[in-house]
Amino acid sequence: ARPSLSCTVLAYYVYIPLPNTVSEPWKLRVVDALLRGVMILGNLAHDLGLSHRIYVLNFAVNRFEVQGPRSSKAVLVTDTAFAGVQVRVFESTRRKEGELKRAVIYLHGGGWALGSARMRSYDSLCRRMAEDLKGVVVSIDYRLAPEARFPEQYNDALRASRYFLQPRVLARYSVEPSRVGVSGDSAGGNLAAAVAQQVATDSSSPSKFKVQALIYPVLQALDFNTPSYQQNQNVPILYRPLMAHFWLEYLDGDLSFIQPLLANKHTALDVYWTAQGRAKVNWTQLLPASFRKHYKPVAPAHGLAQVVEEVPALLDPRAAPLLAERDVLARLPRTYILTCEHDVLRDDGLMYGRRLEEAAVSVTHDHYEDGFHGCMVFAFWPAYSSVGQRTVENYIRWLDDNL
């Protein structure tokens, strides 16, 4: 009876209700259960004063995921530093002598606090990109919260990108200067979008990005009640309160602001200095009806101005690229945006795509009805899934066609 009871308790813990269109739901449930378990341990260690909760999460991830640079016949892999920022470089060995290559600068996800370019999943993705594109992929290991807060992650990403874009560095890696792109997923998509904006508007930059490719990017923190936030607030692996937590860790805000953020108290109608920002995240205008569905805006009459006063970076386009002015957006390169139906961040990507199109930027929107946040990682062992494989294949195909 005891083993049976244990199995029942385990099944009860692992099982969570999911939309019936989620791809291979039991794999997602198992990964989510593992993450929830580590988060419980992290919160316990934090409350006991033993360690910051994020350190526990990162230890668990790094203990099983981080691996050294392993080259193969097709790809040379090296760890180095660009302007003091750690990077992992993947170079295809398939090009002919003297032939110039394409290149992608990649920024990993993890809420600006977790993950690494050295993780097996990101190593596998970048290795495959380098091999399939017969090019160079630079995966940036930017610093993480809580040691680094905004704008340090952004500064690391920008500094390493600028270093790579120098003519002498591109020449060292045999890269064609006019065929460099920038990409990232989740928080890495945020950094990629912010870096792309800065490089596009920097007259001193000798090279510009040919493309940007954003994978379920997080792009704003003014509205935590978009239709996708409302629809997917309880869908793993990125729960709505967790995203608010990551934002406050990144922007060095007090975690007591999580509930005001979730209630949109920081953008209430009486918080006047957020009015311009609200217009740029007005999903009633920016989203197609098929994504607005039956959801209603959450716009309290009275709010908490203290949130924006103490966390002004909420309105900084370097932290929230969706808030960039139209003249900045108009300078951006051809863009690919991948979104997933079962993801709180779906509408961030959709709204950014619409604003880019309004600024006359060419945008490819790749949407997955059975996708969820982080599903691209599910293209690799041990969490291999159909939607993960499809996202990777289509993403690399777009890069191959446009870079």
- Which of the residues are catalytic? 186, 343, 373
Is residue 105 helix, strand or coil? strand
Whole-number Cα distances in Å, 75 to 134, 189, 389: 9, 24, 20
Listed residue (118, 131, 115, 261) closest to 188, CA to CA: 115
Listed residue (165, 91, 171, 98) closest to 129, CA to CA: 91
Q: Which residues pair with 338 in a beta bridge?
A: 215, 366
- Residue positions counted in the chain: 403
Is residue 102 helix, strand or coil? strand
The torsion angle over the Cα atoms of residues 90, 383, 43 and 308, rounded to 10 degrees, is 60
Listed residue (232, 266, 268, 272) closest to 248, CA to CA: 266
All residues at 6 or more sequence positions from 189 whose CB lies less than 8 Å from its CB, including other chains: 107, 109, 183, 214, 215, 216, 217, 218, 219, 349
Q: Cβ–Cβ contacts within 10 Å for residue 198, how many?
A: 19
CB contact at 8 A, 263 and 302 = no
User: What whole-number distance in Å separates Cα of residue 375 and Cα of residue 388?
Assistant: 5
The structure tokens 């244990």 sit at: 6
All residues at 6 or more sequence positions from 41 whose CB lies less than 8 Å from its CB, including other chains: 56, 60
